[in-house]
Structure 1
Amino acid sequence: MSISALSMVAPNALDDFCDLQSVPVHRHFGRNEIVDRFRRSVPFDYIIISGLDVDGYRFGKGHSIDTDLPPAFMESYAADALSQSDPFVIAAKTSFTRTEEKDVYAVSPPPARLVYLADLFGVHNRTLFPIKRSGVVYGAVCFTRNDPFDADELAFLEVIAEPIHTVVTRPLMERFAAQELRLSKGEIACLAHASVGLTSEEIASVTEYQVDTVNTYIKAAVKKLGATNRSQAVAEAIRRRLID
C-alpha cells in the first residue's frame, strides 16, 4: 500500500488530480494546525478520518483515509491484511454508534500481530465516531490515545468528530462530488438559484434556459441527490458543498 504525503487542507492540494479516482487513497498529513487545535482541547495521539459522502467511497470501503498515524504502521497493517481480522474495524463497520476498542476486545481479542504493531507504534484505545446522513454511515473519525478517554472527553470528541471530518474532506467534496454524482453545470446552476428562493420562471430568466429546461434540470438533480423534492435537493446540495 502506498502512503501519500498529500494533505487535504494544504493550499492547492488537488491541483494535480483530474478526478477522485486519481487522488491517493491513503493520505498522511503529519502535524496539522487545524487538527492540533482540537488536540489541545482533548489530547489524543493519532486521528484517522475516513469515508466520503459519495457512492463507493463511504466508510468501510477503505477508499479514502486521511491520518497522522505513522506510515510504517499503516503499511504493515495493510501488508498483513489486518482489516480482515481486526475485531475493532469489523465491529465499527456495522455500528451506528461510538465504537471503543476496549469494549470490542473484551469480547473479541485482537490477533497477536495487531497487538505487536499497536505496541510498537503506540496505537492504543481506538475510539471511533460514525458520521451519518439520513441513517446512512458515510464517514468516521477515529481517535487514539495511550490512556483511555474519560466520559467528558468522549462527549467532546463526539461533538467535534463531524466538524473535523467536514474540514478535512471539504476540498475533495468541493472539487469532485458533483463530478462523482454526475451533476451537470445546468443542474448545479439551477439548484444554486433555487437555493436563494427563485422560482423556475425566475431561474429561466436569469440563466436564459427555458422554463421546461429548468424544471428538467431540477428534477434530474433531485433524483441524483436522492432527494424527494426541490427543497430537499437544495438542502442536500448545500450540505454536500456543491453550492454555497
Structure 2
Amino acid sequence: MDRLQTALDFIGDIAAEVDVNQMLARLSRIAGGFGFDSFLLTGVPDPGRRIDGYIMLSGWSEAWLDRYVSQDYVQVDPIARRLQSVADPFVWSEVMRGLKPDPMGRRVMDEAASIGMRDGLCVPLYDRVRGRSVLSLAARTVDLSPADRAVLHLVGMYAQSRIRTLLDPAPHVDEHPRLSPRERECLQWTAAGKTSWEISAILGLSQSTTDGYIASATRKLGAVNRTQAVAEGIRRGLID
C-alpha cells in the first residue's frame, strides 16, 4: 500500500477516534512508516512563553520531554525559532546549514542528536481559532520526496484537528455539507492537480470566480486550505 493511501486510511480512522492514547499509537505507526522514531505535536508558543501548556501529543521519550520543558529549551532551540516565520514543512538539517546557532542553541541540537534525534521534519500547522502549531518528527536521518512531505503535511493537519477536538471540543462541523455543482467541479479539478488558472480555462470561468468557488467549498468543508479541502472532499465521498 502506498504512503498516500496509508495517510488517507489514517485520516479515516482518526475521524471517530475518542482515545488520546490510541491517537498517539496511530500517529506513532504512521510516523514510523516514513522512517521517524519520535514526534511531538504541539502549539507554537510566542517568544518568551514556555511550551508546557501547548503540548498536545508527545511521542518523545519521557526523559527528553522532561529535560526540554524543565530547561525551557524552546527559548533557544533554533528549530523552534524557525517556526515563528515559516509556513511550509522543512527538514532540520536544511535549516541548520544556513544558521549559526548560539552556544545554547547548539547545545539543544547536540543533546537531541545524542539520543538519536539527529535530524527531523517540522510540519507547521495553523488553526484559525488557536493559532500556530507543529508536528515535529525526528530520526537519525531524513530521506523524503516532495510527495512524502506533502503527505505528512496532510497527516499533520488532520492529527492536529482531531487531537484538539479531543482535548478541547470545538463547535460541531457539518459532516454533510452541500457543495454546489461548480464548487464540486472546481474541487475535483483541484484534486487532479490543476491550478486556479488552469481550472478557469477548462471551465470557461474567470480566475477570480474559480478562486471564489474553491474558497467557498473550503469553508463549507471546515478546511483551512485547498489541500485539506480536497482530502475532506475525498473522505466524505463528495469528489473522487
- Band of TM-score, shorter chain: 0.5 to 0.7
Distance 1:45 1:137 in 2: 27
Matched, 1:156 2:141: no
1:231 deviates by: 7.4
Matched, 1:142 2:124: no
With the length of structure 2 as denominator, give the TM-score of the two structures.
0.53
Residue pair 1:132, 1:138 contacting (<8 A) in 2 also = yes
Distance 2:125 2:175 in 1: 29
Aligned pairs, how many? 169
Distance 1:36 1:194 in 2: 30
1:44 pairs, out of 36, 39, 43, with 36
Residue pair 1:29, 1:66 contacting (<8 A) in 2 also = no
Matched, 1:127 2:117: no
Higher radius of gyration, 1 or 2:
1
Matched, 1:13 2:19: yes
What amino acid is the match of 1:150? D
1:155–1:82 distance in 2 versus 1, CA, 3 Å: same
SS at match of 1:122: coil
What amino acid is the match of 1:13? D
Residue pair 2:24, 2:58 contacting (<8 A) in 1 also = no
Distance 2:72 2:167 in 1: 31
Residue pair 2:23, 2:163 contacting (<8 A) in 1 also = no
5 Å-filtered alignment, 1:100-111, equals: 100-106=91-97, 107-109=99-101, 111=104
Distance 1:160 1:83 in 2: 23
Q: Which residue in the other structure is 1:173 paired with?
A: 165
Residue pair 1:31, 1:68 contacting (<8 A) in 2 also = yes
Q: Which residue in the other structure is 2:84 paired with?
A: 93
1:87 deviates by: 1.1
State the percentage of identical aligned residues.
Answer: 12
User: RMSD of aligned C-alpha atoms?
Assistant: 4.2
Gaps in structure 1 of 5+ consecutive residues: 1-8, 15-27, 52-58, 198-228
1:146 deviates by: 0.7
Matched, 1:235 2:221: yes
SS at match of 2:168: helix
What amino acid is the match of 1:44? F
1:85 deviates by: 0.8
1:108 deviates by: 2.3
Distance 2:110 2:26 in 1: 30
SS at match of 1:119: helix
Distance 1:144 1:83 in 2: 16
Deviations 1:67-103 (A, max 9, x none): 2111111111111111111111101221122233223
SS at match of 1:144: strand
Distance 1:230 1:150 in 2: 36
1:49–1:115 distance in 2 versus 1, CA, 3 Å: closer
SS at match of 1:104: helix
